[in-house]
Structure 1
Amino acid sequence: MSENEIHPSAVIAVGAKVGRGVYIGPWCSVGPDVVIEDGVRLIANVIVDGHTILGKDSVYYPFSTIGLAPQDLKYKGEPTRCVIGSRTIVREQVTIHRGTESGEGVTSVGSDCLLMVNAHIAHDCHLGDRVIIVNNVVLGGHVQIDDDARVMGSAAIHQFVRIGKAALVGGVTGVESDVIPYGSVLGNRARLVGMHWIWLKRNGVQNEELHVLRNVYRHLFPRDEDQHAVFEDRLQIVKEKFGHIEKVQQIISFIEQPSRRGLVKVGRSISSSEKEG
């Protein structure tokens, strides 16, 4: 692991910091303010620029670009940052832009993430750990995606949207509002169609807790709202009845956080989702 393997055609600027056991393949370009931690692999034709950190054992496939300037006309070359976590895999033609001074100044991707072909992560986005972004997904600026979320192919996420923990965004879905933790959304303009039951079951959530989450969902998002109290009252009922349960606490906390986009509205359930539930 101590020896680096750097192809003769790669260009590494003076000032770049390269750890041990790093592989930098043909025609890669590494800027002067880049930090490459131990075990990183740049397969070929990868461009890394700006004040960027590539976490340990992360892998970058051909024609991915990391830490380049944001697509923001207000950006004037400020030394903003891009940080990628350990063991994250970035596939072909993915673009991850550094942050802006008008945002938080950093774009971050957590550890153990998978960003598939042709995805775009815009300036000031923050992705948690174990997030999966499928082919052709585009994220507007300032999007926040929490741990374990899944965004399926060709989805588009509006700027400032928040995607909660382990939420599922369906393919070719346009998301203009926030998605609750463990929620599942789908549609040309996203609608909440249920909970992400598959993830919950695969991650060891027992039937008793699944039953509680069904009740919470039905309380918060009833199919016939005319027969129920306003949303704030429904939320209070959920707090009183189920607020002691960790996953319910996460949902409540997410809803109560300040938001620039509001919550995704409820839509028609999908038969396959119902079957999984």
Structure 2
Amino acid sequence: MSVDIHPTALVAKGAELADGVSVGPYSILGEHVKVGARTQILAHVVVENRTTIGEDCSVRNFSNLGGPPHHTGYKGEPTELVIGDRNKIWEHVTMHIAAPGGDGFTRVGNDGFYMATSHVGHDCVVGDNVVLAHSATLGGHVHVGDFVTVSGLAAVHQFCRVGRYAFIGGLAAVTKDVIPYGLVWGNHAHLEGLNLVGLKRRDFGRETISELRSAYRLLFAEEGTFQERIDDTATAFGQCAPVMEIIDFIRADASRPLCLPDREV
């Protein structure tokens, strides 16, 4: 299987292209770029710096992958962007390499769906099966778990964590951490409940969803302190793995503020 490079594309001598890669008209690939098997780079795409793209991805027109971080401290350090397999990256998407001072990598998982003009900032860690809708934005150092959806024009503030299976509504401004399975909305975003539609679509059983709903009501009730409610929820639902994922997420970084309900649950 050969590599198909359009005559108008510019591919630097050091770039590594696996079998079946295609590079469309007027696209530019830098000398440190690596592209996995059968990935399609369409027209007018720029892939630069130390960027690795996995297998069976598609990168559509005018996307820029591996651009320098929007960080005033960046002085050309050899940081990287690593993108997994089977991602669909649509028009005008931007994903940046890491800034200095971290582990040197921006990481994007597998099977993602990145709609037009969405953005993954420097040092982000993005899981598998993530959807960023049109113009959704992840600031620097954001961690996004598997199966998260970030709706159109929503923005996640730098250093925020978004747990697995969470859903962020359109136009939301997320400045605090979002629990796994949570549904957040608004400016600034608040916890609206659980991502019940997403859980059903991902084949979570009725019993599991019922336990999550009961645990949610206990965790965010008005009685007692939040720490007491965390402990009570862990005791009452310790055998339910999704509930304990929420508890572990909260306990993992007590210094981070959480998105909370803005009304009685």
TM range (shorter): over 0.9
Code of the residue aligned with 1:36 in structure 2: it is V
What residue is the counterpart of 1:198 in the other structure?
197
The residue aligned with 1:111 is 110
* Deviation of the 1:257 alpha carbon: 1.0
1:10, 1:170 → 2: CA distance? Answer: 38
Percent sequence identity over matched residues?
40
Q: Answer whether contact 1:140 1:157 (CA < 8 A) is retained.
A: yes
| Residues 250 and 32 of structure 1, relative CA distance in 2, 3 Å threshold | same
Pair 197,5 (structure 1): closer, same or farther in 2 beyond 3 Å:
same
Please identify runs of 4+ aligned residues in structure 1 that moved more than 3 A.
none
Task: Identify the residue that residue 15 of structure 1 maps to in structure 2.
Answer: 14
SS at match of 1:254: helix
Match in the other structure for 1:244: 239
Bigger mean CA offset, 213-222 vs 97-106: 97-106
In the alignment, what sits opposite 1:92?
A: 91
Deviation of 1:208 after TM superposition, in Å, equals 1.5
Separation of aligned partners in 1, 2:254 and 2:159? 8
Mean Cα deviation higher: 197-206 or 26-35: 197-206
Show CA shifts across 1:52-106 (max 9, x none): 1000011100000000111111011110000111000110001100001212211
Q: Secondary structure at the match of 2:210?
A: helix
The structural deviation recorded for 1:146 is 0.3
Change (3 A) 1:236 1:261: closer
Q: 1:205 Cα shift?
A: 1.6
Give the letter aligned to residue 232 of structure 2.
I
User: What is the CA distance between 1:259 and its match in structure 2?
Assistant: 5.5
Kindly report which structure 2 residues correspond to 1:23-172, keeping only aligned pairs within 5 A, or say none: 23-172=22-171
Q: Distance in 2 between matches of 1:149 and 1:19?
A: 30
Give the residue type in structure 1 aligned to 2:125: H
Q: Distance in 1 between matches of 2:255 and 2:246?
A: 17
- The change in CA–CA distance for 1:175 and 1:259 in structure 2 (over 3 A counts) is farther
Q: Which runs of 5+ in 1 are unaligned?
A: none
What amino acid sits opposite 2:105 in the alignment?
Answer: V
Give the letter aligned to residue 255 of structure 1.
I
C-alpha distance in structure 2 between counterparts of 1:236 and 1:162, whole Å: 21
Map residues 253-272 of structure 1 onto 2, 5 A cutoff. Answer: 253-258=248-253, 261-268=256-263
Q: Deviations over 1:105-154 (max 9, x none)?
A: 11111100001000111100111000000001111100010000000000
- Per the alignment, in what secondary structure is the counterpart of residue 53 of structure 1? strand
Task: Tell me the C-alpha RMSD between the 2 structures.
Answer: 1.3
Distance in 1 between residues matched to 2:200 and 2:118, nearest whole Å: 28
Aligned match of 2:185: 186
| Alpha-carbon distance in structure 1 between the residues aligned to 2:225 and 2:138 | 32
Deviation at 1:267, TM superposition (A): 2.2
Amino acid at match of 1:235: I
Separation (CA, whole Å) in 2 of partners of 1:34 and 1:147: 26
The answer to whether the 8 A contact 1:34-1:51 is kept is yes
- State whether residues 160 and 261 of structure 1, in contact with CA within 8 Å, keep that contact through their aligned partners in structure 2: no
1:12 positional shift: 0.5
**Displacement, 1:211?**
1.2
Query: Residues 199-234 of structure 1: CA distance to partner in whole angstroms, max 9, x if unpaired?
Result: 111222222211111110001112xx1xx1100000
Q: For 2:15 and 2:94, how far apart are their aligned partners in 1?
A: 20
| Residue type at the aligned position of 1:264 | C
Distance 1:261 1:31 in 2: 38
TM-score by length of 2: 0.97
Residue identity in the other structure for 1:234: R
Q: Which residue of 1 aligns with 2:228?
A: 233
**Counterpart amino acid of residue 265 in structure 1:** L
Tell me the distance in 1 between the aligned counterparts of 2:225 and 2:15: 56
Q: Secondary structure at the match of 2:239?
A: coil
